[in-house]
Structure formats: structure tokens, C-alpha cells
């Protein structure tokens, strides 16, 4: 049996109360079952003080993000909560099992139906209104079958998550081991002379990472807007814009990208081991990172000119240019630069709209939650005024997701 969505669900706009947790809808996991944490609020949404315009959701209610439905941002709530005014909320009006429809609507054929029903001139402006959503044709199997399918899907997703967690943990441990070996070799704790067969005159990548990282941190001392995210973005721009290719970054198109976790990990460990700076994260994982000076803080300048030559002055100018930008602004600048630079490397000449679309629709799903088109146009214009314009050289960012997720 096939029925239109409007015959199965009814749009509702129940008033919110201040004590309800604020939930979100993700294209990866559906609707959350807990209050957004402080870090998530800063990264994903800007909560308004007056929550009266938020919409209430109840268990089994369907909710979708009008601006992200074309990417699968739809879910079913398992708790009482509140969602953004930008979401559409609907309650079931038939005897059905709502989680089944959450999984169904997040499959490619139904995501495509939602994309086709969305209104807008470009992908990152698409909106799916209830009047279009309610026309989507949905299968209605027997209730027992709906439950069985949903439970099977939940089991498979849980198993996949467990496997992914184990793989991720193994990767992180290998990175830690790799960084530890490099640090031990650089500091002389590990004697590798007996195992080195061929010598090379290739520049010492770790030395460049330490020198450049120390210079960035040194220039940002007492800057409340500086932390790990800004350090990562300035390292990327130092390599891509200034041409300090010896950093040899491998930058990924992740949510906080351009991101090279190994680069940051190696740099921070070596900075501490060599007595320059120690990374501190008082609030634990997800909290702000600051850098405490150690006895050799500032002494990197002795080698800075030797290692970088005229690029040392260009690096200082770049750091000064970005000094007053906060974490979010410098991430926008670095991402715009990377999209633009990658396009130039592909022989393209992208206009502003193409560059912004590359950030919002071709990078990572969370970029569209962090930045608006207007935000990015302001940043792009600023970059052009400051001469922070790519030349199609340096490292190319690597996709971490399949491209068709954005189609």
C-alpha cells in the first residue's frame, strides 16, 4: 500500500516550554535524544535567548530541517524536546511505527524525492516546505513489518558504529605511536643509526612544523581568540599561501577542515618535548586549547630565518592579518581558500558563487550548519581586499565522504 506523507503525518507547531532540551536533526544520525552541549551549540547552531519560537517535539514525532532535507536531515524523536523554528514537525495520524519512516526517508530514493520537492535556485538555498513534503509517496507495510525493518536497521547501524569505533581507535593509536617514534628519534631517545640504510637531504618536516608552529603561537600570545583550531588553519595557510611546503600537510575535508590531525599531534608533542610550548585543555576533549610557554618559548626565532628565509616575513604578515579573526571566522577563510585553490588546481576559474557553493555543498555537511551564504560572501570579499588569494599551488584537500552525498 502506498500513501502520501500527508495522509500519514500531520504538521504541528506545539508551543515550547523553557525546560525542554534543545535537540537537533543531523544528516548522519537523525534527531538527537539529548540537549546540545556547549561545544555543539557553538559548532552547529546559534541558540536565541527567547525559545518561545522553538517547536515542541514528542516521542514518535517526525522532524526535518527545511534547509537540509535534501541531504537527509530528517528524524523521529524518542524524547520530549524542542527544535529550531527552521524545522518542520509532524505527528503520526495513523497507526504506524515512526522509526521505520525515519530510516525510509534517509535512503537515497526518498532523499531524492525530498530534493526534487525542495524550492531554491541552488543546492545551498533549497528549502523543503510542508506543502511539498506531504506529497511524497511512502510505502505502508503492515505494522509488524515496519517494526521488524526498523529494528533490523537499528541493529545493523549499531554494529557498523561499533566496527567504526574500533577502526578509529586503532588509527588513533597508530598515529600516537608514529608521533612518539618521530619525537623519540628527533630528541635522540631512539638511536636509528643502525637501521638507516639510505640518507637523504630532504628537509626535516618535523623541524619545520615546530618552527612554524612556535612562530604562530608566539605571535598570538595573550590573544583570547587563539587556540588549536586557529593554529591548524594558520598552518594550512602557511603551506598553501606562503608556500612553506616543507610542512607536508595532508589536509582533509572534514567538519573542522582543512584538517590534518597528525600534523597538529606531531607539532604539539614536539613543541612540548623541545621546551617551547605545552598544549593545555583544562575542560577535557572538546574544550578550548591554550598554549603555555615553556623555558625555550620565543627562542625559535634564532632558527626561523635560517629555515624560512624571506618566507619568515610573509608568515608574520599572515599571522598578523588573521590575528583579530575568531575561530569561526578563520575556519571560514581557510575553507574558502581551500575550495578556491583546489578549483584553480583543476584548471577552473570559479566565481564567488561557485566558491561558496563548494564550501556549503561539496565540503562537509556540517559546513552548511556553521556558515550562511551571507557570512561566506563577507569573508570572501575581505580575503580579496587583503590579497589572501590562492594561486592554485600547494596541498590539495582530500574528500572524506562520497561526492554523491551532496547531489
Say if residue 284 is in the same domain as residue 353. Answer: yes
What is the per-residue pLDDT for 257?
80
Q: What distance in Å separates the CA atoms of residue 332 and residue 257, rounded to the nearest whole number?
A: 10
Q: CA torsion 394→400→406→407, rounded to 10°? A: 90
* Domain end point (choices 175, 199, 223): 199
Q: What phi and psi, each to the nearest 5 degrees, are found at residue 178?
A: -60, -45
* Domain end point (choices 106, 140, 174): 140
Say if residue 308 is in the same domain as residue 321. Answer: yes
What is the per-residue pLDDT for 201?
45
Encode the chain (407 residues) as per-residue pLDDT tens digits: 899 999 999 999 988 876 788 888 877 667 766 554 444 444 444 444 456 788 999 999 999 999 888 888 899 999 999 988 889 999 999 899 999 999 999 898 999 999 999 998 776 678 999 999 999 999 999 999 999 999 998 888 888 888 888 888 888 889 888 888 888 877 877 766 555 444 444 558 899 999 999 999 999 999 999 999 999 999 999 999 999 999 999 999 988 889 999 999 999 999 999 999 999 988 777 678 999 999 999 999 988 988 999 999 999 999 999 999 999 999 999 999 999 999 999 999 999 999 999 999 889 888 888 899 999 999 999 999 999 999 999 899 988 754 433 33
Say if residue 72 is in the same domain as residue 179. Answer: no
Domain ranges, residue 113:
2-140
Say if residue 194 is in the same domain as residue 244. Answer: no
Asked, as a colleague might, if the bond just before 102 is cis with ω within 30 of 0, I would say no
What is the per-residue pLDDT for 71?
86
Say if residue 165 is in the same domain as residue 72. Answer: no
Say if residue 31 is in the same domain as residue 153. Answer: no
Say if residue 257 is in the same domain as residue 320. Answer: yes
Q: Centre a 10 Å sphere on the Cβ of residue 200 and count the other Cβ atoms it contains.
A: 6
Say if residue 324 is in the same domain as residue 392. Answer: yes
Contact indicator for 255, 352 with CB cutoff of 8 Å: no
What is the per-residue pLDDT for 37?
47
* Domain end point (choices 140, 166, 189): 140
What is the per-residue pLDDT for 168?
86
Instruction: Count up the domains in the chain and report the number.
Output: 3
Say if residue 186 is in the same domain as residue 204. Answer: no
Say if residue 96 is in the same domain as residue 231. Answer: no
CA angle 202, 185, 245 (to 5 degrees): 30
Say if residue 134 is in the same domain as residue 175. Answer: no
Residues 6+ apart with CB under 8 A from 350: 339, 340, 343, 344, 358
What is the domain-level CATH number for residue 67? 3.90.220.20
Say if residue 240 is in the same domain as residue 341. Answer: yes
What is the per-residue pLDDT for 402?
43
Amino acid at each position: 500500500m502506498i500513501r502520501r506523507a500527508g495522509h500519514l503525518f500531520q504538521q504541528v507547531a506545539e508551543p515550547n516550554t523553557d525546560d525542554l532540551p534543545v535537540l537537533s536533526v543531523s544528516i548522519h544520525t537523525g534527531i538527537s535524544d539529548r540537549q546540545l552541549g556547549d561545544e555543539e551549540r557553538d559548532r552547529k547552531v546559534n541558540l536565541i535567548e527567547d525559545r518561545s519560537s522553538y517547536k515542541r517535539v514528542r516521542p514518535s514525532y517526525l522532524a526535518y530541517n527545511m534547509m537540509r532535507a535534501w541531504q537527509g536531515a530528517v528524524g523521529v524523536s524518542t524524547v520530549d524536546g524542542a527544535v529550531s523554528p527552521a524545522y518542520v514537525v509532524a505527528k503520526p495520524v495513523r497507526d504506524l511505527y515512526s522509526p521505520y519512516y525515519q530510516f525510509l526517508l534517509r535512503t537515497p530514493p526518498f532523499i531524492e524525492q525530498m530534493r526534487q520537492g525542495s524550492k531554491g535556485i541552488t543546492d545551498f538555498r533549497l528549502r523543503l516546505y510542508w506543502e511539498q513534503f506531504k506529497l511524497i509517496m511512502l510505502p505502508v507495510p503492515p505494522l509488524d513489518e515496519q517494526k521488524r525493518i526498523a529494528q533490523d536497521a537499528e541493529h545493523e547501524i549499531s554494529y557498523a558504529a561499533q566496527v567504526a569505533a574500533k577502526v578509529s581507535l586503532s588509527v588513533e593509536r597508530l598515529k600516537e605511536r608514529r608521533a612518539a617514534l618521530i619525537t623519540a628519534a628527533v630528541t635522540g631517545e631512539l638511536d636509528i643509526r643502525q637501521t638507516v640504510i639510505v640518507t637523504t637531504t630532504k628537509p626535516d618536516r618535523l623541524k619545520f612544523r615546530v618552527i612554524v608552529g612556535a612562530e604562530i603561537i608566539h605571535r598570538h600570545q595573550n590573544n583570547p581568540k587563539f587556540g588549536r583550531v586557529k593554529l591548524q588553519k594558520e598552518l594550512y595557510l602557511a603551506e598553501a599561501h606562503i608556500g612553506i611546503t616543507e610542512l607536508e600537510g595532508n589536509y582533509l575535508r572534514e567538519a573542522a577542515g582543512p584538517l590534518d590531525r597528525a600534523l597538529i599531534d606531531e607539532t604539539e608533542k614536539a613543541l612540548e618535548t623541545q621546551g617551547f610550548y605545552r598544549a593545555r585543555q583544562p575542560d577535557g576533549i572538546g574544550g578550548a586549547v591554550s598554549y603555555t610557554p615553556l623555558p625555550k618559548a620565543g627562542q625559535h626565532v634564532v632558527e626561523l630565518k635560517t629555515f624560512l628565509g624571506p618566507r619568515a616575513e610573509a608568515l608574520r604578515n599572515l599571522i598578523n592579518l588573521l590575528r583579530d579573526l575568531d575561530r569561526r571566522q578563520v575556519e571560514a577563510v581557510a575553507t574558502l581558500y581551500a575550495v578556491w585553490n583546489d578549483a584553480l588546481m583543476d584548471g577552473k576559474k570559479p566565481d564567488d558563487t561557485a566558491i561558496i557553493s563548494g564550501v556549503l555543498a561539496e565540503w562537509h555537511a556540517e559546513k552548511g550548519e556553521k556558515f550562511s551564504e551571507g557570512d561566506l560572501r563577507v569573508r570572501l570579499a575581505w580575503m580579496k581586499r587583503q590579497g589572501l588569494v590562492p594561486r592554485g599551488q600547494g596541498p590539495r584537500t582530500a574528500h572524506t565522504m562520497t561526492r554523491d552525498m551532496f547531489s
